[in-house]
Amino acid sequence: VQMIMVSGFLGSGKTTLIVQLAKVCVVGGLRVAILVNEVGEIGIDDGFMRRLGLNVRELLGGCICCTLATDLVETLRQLEKGYHPDIILLEPSGVADPTSVHRSLDLLKAKPMIRLRHIMLIDPLRLRMLMEVLTPLTIATMESANIVCINKTDAADEEELDYARETVRKVNPRTKVLEISAKNGIDVNVLGAFLA
């Protein structure tokens, strides 16, 4: 099964992008499952998601890159057996380390079940701050991402966008970079780029 992991710091727009991706998938006739890892109490607005006919599972009360890794794999197995999704959209908590998610999937021998693409979302309005206070995590995530997505292009100014572009180019010159405004919707080409 195809899995898209959308990582990014708190509030970078992960849920917004996942909902948009799910809509594009549903329109394209794909069966979608959404897996959300919330550390806090407030879960995803899954009433809205379920009305769209999406299969939403929450992994609560811990982080999938550490304590909930086995739950993640068990949930993947259940989904494979029961729902047969074409695509699984995974939102790790904003404080998760996506490279540990990779490692856990490997250790728990879940890698053969899935084709994983890792998309890192960047909020250009806050990247400078992140690079100052969470440097190693931000850099490691950028290095491991298949695609880096600069989000909130509707709200960022040129200086913020340039800083984001330049930072990604320095940290991971080989990665593909997309610029989006998840809030304003995405088209099918974005999904295509994620899967390419």
The listed partner (ligand GTP, Mg ion, none) that binds 141, CB under 5 to 8 Å by sort, is none
Residue 98 CB partners (closer than 8 Å, separation 6+): 5, 7, 65, 92, 118, 120, 141, 144, 145
Binding mask 113-152 for ligand GTP (x = CB under 6 A): --------------------------------------xx
> Under a CB-based contact definition with an 8 Å cutoff, are residues 5 and 98 in contact?
yes
Backbone phi and psi for residue 139, each to the nearest 5 degrees, phi listed first: -70, -45
Stretch that binds ligand GTP, among 3-11, 64-72, 100-108, 142-150 (CB under 6 A): 3-11
Stretch that binds ligand GTP, among 13-21, 74-82, 109-117, 140-148 (CB under 6 A): 13-21
For residue 112, the minimal CB distance to ligand GTP (Å) is 29
Cα 70 from Cα 140, distance rounded (Å): 23
**Which position among 7, 16, 141, 172 is part of the footprint of ligand GTP (CB under 6 A)?**
16
> Under a CB-based contact definition with an 8 Å cutoff, are residues 15 and 3 in contact?
no
Q: What angle do CA 37, 64, 58 make, to 5 degrees?
A: 30
Which residues from 166-185 bind ligand GTP, rule CB under 6 A? 181-183
How many residues form the binding site for Mg ion (CB under 5 A)? 2
Binding residues vs Mg ion (CB under 5 A): 14-15
